[in-house]
Chain A
């Protein structure tokens, strides 16, 4: 008989932790108001206690029912209590195995293990288990045994400044603001409306203190953007400190985090593509952050699929030769945007700038009492538009395609970010050429590349001369077939 294993019993509480907290906190709070004695308290809360007991009973039944078995070539598991599932995951199809050590479970030596294949849900892992550390180690060993090891392992560990650089480049205000909003609303849910109001009042006071004589609306906008960005920067920094990548044969191990430790075991053959990300500033400085796409890595909320947090060209070459020599970006000329399509890049930002200046001028003339606010808002609106103009000029020089053997390099710009995507011919699902009426007149077209990826990613290289695009298509067909 196969050995049947179970998750850690902590799953009984962990799976319903939010519901249990919602019930437990009011119960504990009501204990502080013991005026009618223990029996009086019990008479008031017996329904809550009963619900809590039912949840725990359900959790226990589910824990008893959910099992897994490690077989020779795959893993069989039973999931669910009322709607039961029996799943068989062959080890060969696994793209990544993630072992997560959340800070609140480290004392109990419990870890969360996520198994991923290229199939299944795009948002959820194919299997998530809460295991004892030694069980997780065993599972990882067995699941990754088919990946041929090497005699020598090669390791890459960036300095903390590189990680800070990555956080600097990838942080944005919106994520931080959303994080703060969720935090405040959850605090309200768990600790009551009174605490939520107190937090909001404190934040308002802080904003008043930091306003520096700005108009109140402008101060709120500026501080929300700045505060959100700072929060996101800090959370990114904490998540990626301690980053390390180790290459051992067909296995690539990535570790990161200081509070919540995460260890990803990736199958190198299952890496779909590599992507260099830059902003206009880092492009000029010659630095980039390198990401990889491998199903399961960077899939969770707020996670990023980082391979090299920050590297210049020399470091990039050296580090990639060390840990991922299979996928190397090309630096040759390749196929680029034609010179006569520069206007296609400049018209959108120049039009936006013109429209903004016209609206601002109109408001300045019609609303003489709001000059200070208009000056601030105008500055906030025009600066990104001017920056976009520079990005577009950069995009004109940057966009292009290159093929070296079976490796393709695509340089694209999306929004303010510059991407260099490197992949093998066999990871490209489809290539599409498309052109508008204006592009037809300029004899150029967009090359749309559909990549093999769980989320069905596509990248668009804009305004490549038609003859060059056909040339690329020919080369792709030749190498792809070969």
Chain B
């Protein structure tokens, strides 16, 4: 059984997104509301408080809770702080695999792996590039590196 966590850059990306959302909300408050009123102060304090809680408590806990498990029989992805999820997919039911890459994942050297099966899919985000090929070989054993072209 292999149990591994996500890439550290996942936390960085989540923190960045949280910061961006907080900045956008704060910008919206500064632009829309009458300055130095109780509503103005209250909104800014609330946004700041939620951001601090999210960035320094929720997201680190979320990062720690996220991991994937690979056994001979199944692949499992676990994640969650308040609501904890365990999603398990039998390796025999995997029909095909997709590896996704976007401009952010190129910078963070991570990939998102999607395992497709009948009636559902299992998404494992922010996997370090070096782990992706090992996972791919494991879940789709019909694709060895040495496979001959036709």
Binding site for B on A (CB under 8 A): 1-3, 69-74, 76, 82-90, 92-93, 117-120, 126, 142, 452, 454, 456
List 19 contacting pairs A-B, 8 Å CB cutoff, sorted by A. Answer: A1-B149, A2-B149, A70-B149, A71-B149, A72-B147, A73-B143, A82-B103, A85-B98, A85-B99, A85-B100, A86-B98, A86-B99, A87-B98, A87-B99, A117-B95, A117-B96, A119-B116, A119-B117, A126-B96
Tell me which of A70, A83, A118 contacts B102 (CB under 8 A).
A83
Q: How long is the Cα–Cα vector from A176 to B136 in the complex, in angstroms?
A: 46
| Complex contact A88–B101 (CB within 8 A) | no
| Complex contact A69–B116 (CB within 8 A) | no
Tell me which of B95, B118, B142, B143 contacts A452 (CB under 8 A).
B118
Q: How long is the Cα–Cα vector from A86 to B112 in the complex, in angstroms?
A: 10
| Complex contact A92–B121 (CB within 8 A) | no
Chain B contacts with A in 104-150, Cβ cutoff 8 A: 116-119, 121, 136, 140, 142-143, 147-150
| Complex contact B140–A90 (CB within 8 A) | yes
Of listed A3, A74, A88, A92, residue having the most chain B CB within 10 A: A88
| Complex contact A456–B119 (CB within 8 A) | yes
Q: How long is the Cα–Cα vector from A90 to B94 in the complex, in angstroms?
A: 10
| B147: A residues at CB distance < 8 A | 2, 71-74
Q: How long is the Cα–Cα vector from A289 to B140 in the complex, in angstroms?
A: 40
| Complex contact A84–B118 (CB within 8 A) | no
| Complex contact B96–A88 (CB within 8 A) | yes
| Complex contact B143–A118 (CB within 8 A) | no
The verdict on B97 contacting chain A, using a C-beta distance below 8 Å, is: yes
Q: A93-B95, A117-B96 are in contact. Are A454 and B118 (CB under 8 A)?
A: yes
Tell me which of A74, A84, A119, A120 contacts B140 (CB under 8 A).
A74
Tell me which of A83, A88, A120, A456 contacts B143 (CB under 8 A).
A88
**CB-defined interface of B70-92 with A at 8 Å, one 1/0 digit per residue?**
00000000000000000000000
Apart from A69-B149, A87-B99, 8 more pairs, CB < 8 Å: A74-B142, A74-B143, A82-B103, A83-B100, A88-B97, A93-B95, A117-B95, A120-B95
Please provide the 5 A-B residue pairs with the shortest distance between their CB atoms, ordered closest to farther: A119-B95, A119-B116, A2-B149, A118-B118, A86-B99
| B119: A residues at CB distance < 8 A | 119, 456
Q: A90-B140, A119-B116 are in contact. Are A84 and B149 (CB under 8 A)?
A: no
| Complex contact B148–A72 (CB within 8 A) | yes
| A2: B residues at CB distance < 8 A | 147, 149
Q: How long is the Cα–Cα vector from A349 to B98 in the complex, in angstroms?
A: 51
Q: Which residue of A lies closest to B106 (CB)?
A: A84
Of listed A74, A83, A119, residue having the most chain B CB within 10 A: A119
Nearest CB of B to A294, in Å: 13
Q: How long is the Cα–Cα vector from A93 to B95 in the complex, in angstroms?
A: 6
Chain B contacts with A in 29-59, Cβ cutoff 8 A: none
Q: How long is the Cα–Cα vector from A392 to B20 in the complex, in angstroms?
A: 61
| Complex contact A119–B98 (CB within 8 A) | no
Q: Which residue of B lies closest to A3 (CB)?
A: B149
| Complex contact B117–A72 (CB within 8 A) | no
| A72: B residues at CB distance < 8 A | 147-150
Q: How long is the Cα–Cα vector from A84 to B116 in the complex, in angstroms?
A: 17
Of listed B116, B118, B119, B147, residue having the most chain A CB within 10 A: B118
| Complex contact B102–A82 (CB within 8 A) | yes
